[in-house]
Chain A
Amino acid sequence: MPPTPRPRGLAVLPVVLGVAFVVALAVFPKFVESPYALQMMVLFFLAVIQGEAWNLIGGYGGQYSVGHAAYFGIGAYTVIVLLQSRGIAPWWGLAPALALAVVVAAVVGSLTFRLRGPYFVLASIAVAEIFRLAALNWKDLTNGAEGILLSEIPPLVVGGVLVTDFSTKVPFYYMGLALAVVTVLVTVWFQGSKLGYYLQAIREDQDAANSLGIPLTFYKNVALMISAFFTAFAGALYGLYVGFIDPQTALGLDISVQIVLTAIIGGIGTVLGPVIGAALLVALSEALRSNLLTDALIGSGVVDASSGVGQFLRDNLSHAHMLIYGVLVALTILFMPDGVLGAIKNQVRKRRTRAAAGGAA
């Protein structure tokens, strides 16, 4: 049974479905006013942006950076510091924030991309930790461990017309949605471009890629710079949305891990993998945070609420997201190495093969 050739162009059905999905998301706030629902959606969009951004260098390029918190934090800190201490509006502050992230990516890439495999991973973690420690100790600029509380975002006025005063979650919803759509489109372009081909060749076999005329470090650097750009953008949005940043929430290791997870759980090296991963992870982390999971366990009678186990879960499960993430990664890598999307595709392929075999018999 020959495998079906994988089309690279845009098929009609996915485009129609994609547009319909985006339109539905665009009108969502008109019908749903619940701040809780909007909050979930904003977190989902932010996770999509970060997952897609990481996917370019990690999924397509196979360079598993576990230090993307550095770019996230650079985006958040630059915009917030400029706004809070210099009064520079965030839409102006965004330019230096993104530029800084891209420059840092170029420097970090040039230094660390000569390393391969686990050595590169360790170096990427170390770089992010350097930024976190710098934010922790450079108190004049970052206010150290106390973090920065944003007092207010100036209203956005274009040509005398008030666009938004940022008093609700709705403007953040649309910014998140727009940027998430852009990152997905960038990924579609990337996948069919020379850059995308070269990154995939590098992922599969660096020496072979090199012998075919691909300068490895250059192409890895370009992909990392694009990746850092969008990650920093997400960081800036996050900082403005939450209104508070400190070294742990903007530059912590768990941010890097969460970004990698989003892509791995969904399916790395695919356009939609990070979208699926983002939906699953945001839902899971909310279920943990709100003790939904514990309530479900107790409600279904699996665990007795008054027992020691029940008390323990109620007290601790909501803080155990890193532990659960760790278990998830192990399970994904063991049982679904191509992520949820890959597992679904494999199932569909198997069923088709079986159907074809059954039809032939």
Chain B
Amino acid sequence: MSPGPAPILEIRQVSKFFGGLAANSDVSFSMSEGMILGLIGPNGAGKTTLFNCITGYYPPSRGEILFKGERMNGLTPDQVCKRGMVRTWQKVRPLAKLSVLDNVVVGALVRTNSVPEAREIAHEQLRVVKLDHKDGFLAGGLPIGERKKLEVARVLATRPSLLLLDEVMGGLNPAESEDIIQLILEIKERGLTQMVIEHDMKAIMRISDRIVVLNSGEKLAEGAPQEVVSNPEVVTAYLGEAHV
């Protein structure tokens, strides 16, 4: 790589073992500020495990995670969030008995002790994801498409510099997916860095600046979207039948 500005996130030879099983082994890559990195791979490739290692849910068994030059190994999820790195969940986790607005207020409170101020931030972020008209609804009653948006609004309210989105388009219809794609591109324009796990290849090709392919816990390929999809190893391992 050309000697540009220091990367915002560096994954250095990260391995995660569960007993004898290597969910991630020797994964390395880095992200520069403002980019969207697509993380793809077949089911069980270790994408979500890597998210969990990066955001403090599991300590990596080996290797190092550097965010803005600081070592993240051993930090708890809340400490990682305070430093500006926050994730969404593949299976959405709305705070069901709180209103849509209050869900986002909870996110905003990480940067302020004032509830009125947090409410202002929350309203602002709900407008960004176009969910402001539902602010009084209970989060548990939203349809899946809106839950995914709520999830994004909630992490945006924590004022992160790096977002990790775990299948935010999973289970959505094409129109809803398109909404999310536009949202991700809009977030990029605001200068936020994003790592995106996604199964929809068309979507990932459109939004990613770079793609990392995981297979059986190892990094199989990395490069620009076009490069990656034309890589024969990736085609056999992952895209397989669909592209033959």
Chain A residues near B (Cβ < 8 Å): 2-6, 192-194, 197-198, 200-201, 203-205, 207-216, 269
Q: Are B113 and A194 in contact (CB under 8 A)?
A: yes
Cβ of B109 within 8 Å of any chain A Cβ, yes or no, is: yes
Given contacts A4-B136, A6-B136, contact A212 B110 (CB under 8 A): yes
Contact of A3 among B81, B136, B158 (CB under 8 A): B136
Option from B98, B106, B113 in Cβ contact (under 8 Å) with A212: B106
Check B78–A208 contact: CB distance below 8 A.
no
- Residues of B at the A interface (CB closer than 8 Å) are 55, 57, 76-79, 81-82, 86-87, 89, 93-99, 101-102, 105-107, 109-110, 113-115, 118, 135-138, 141, 154-155, 158
Given A194-B113, A201-B95, A204-B96, A3–B138 Cβ distance below 8 Å?
yes
Whether the pair B107, A212 counts as a contact (CB closer than 8 A) is: yes
Known contacts A2-B137, A3-B137, A197-B105; is A212 also within 8 Å of B155 by CB?
yes
A219 closest partner in B (C-beta): B78
Minimal Cβ-Cβ distance residue in A for B134: A2
Q: What are 15 inter-chain pairs, A to B, with CB distance below 8 A? A: A2-B136, A3-B137, A3-B141, A6-B99, A193-B115, A200-B97, A200-B102, A205-B95, A205-B96, A207-B77, A211-B78, A211-B81, A212-B158, A213-B81, A269-B97
Nearest CB of B to A202, in Å: 9
**Complex contact A200–B95 (CB within 8 A):** yes
Give B167 Cβ to nearest chain A Cβ, in Å: 15
- Decide if B115 touches A192 in the complex (CB within 8 Å): yes
When the two chains form their complex, are residues B110 and A213 in contact, meaning their CB atoms are under 8 A apart? yes
A212 touches B86 (CB 8 A): yes
Q: Which 5 A-B pairs have the closest CB atoms?
A: A5-B136, A213-B110, A213-B81, A204-B95, A208-B93
B89–A208 CB distance below 8 A:
yes
CA–CA, A194 and B76, complex, Å:
20
Known A207-B77, A214-B110; 5 more pairs at CB < 8 Å: A198-B106, A200-B97, A207-B89, A209-B95, A213-B86
The closest CB in chain B to the CB of A197 belongs to: B106
Q: Establish whether residues A214 and B78, one from each chain, have CB atoms under 8 Å apart when the complex forms.
A: yes
Least Cβ–Cβ distance between B76 and chain A, in angstroms: 7
**Which A residues lie within 8 Å of B78 (CB)?**
210-216
Nearest chain A residue, comparing its CB with the CB of B138: A3
B135: chain A residues at CB < 8 Å are 5
Do A201 and B106 contact each other (CB < 8 Å), given the known contacts A5-B136, A213-B158? yes
Residues of chain A within 8 A (CB-CB) of B77 are 207, 210-211
Instruction: Determine if A213 and B82 form an interchain contact, defined as CB atoms under 8 angstroms apart.
Output: yes
Q: Which residue in chain B gives the minimum CB-CB distance to A210? A: B77
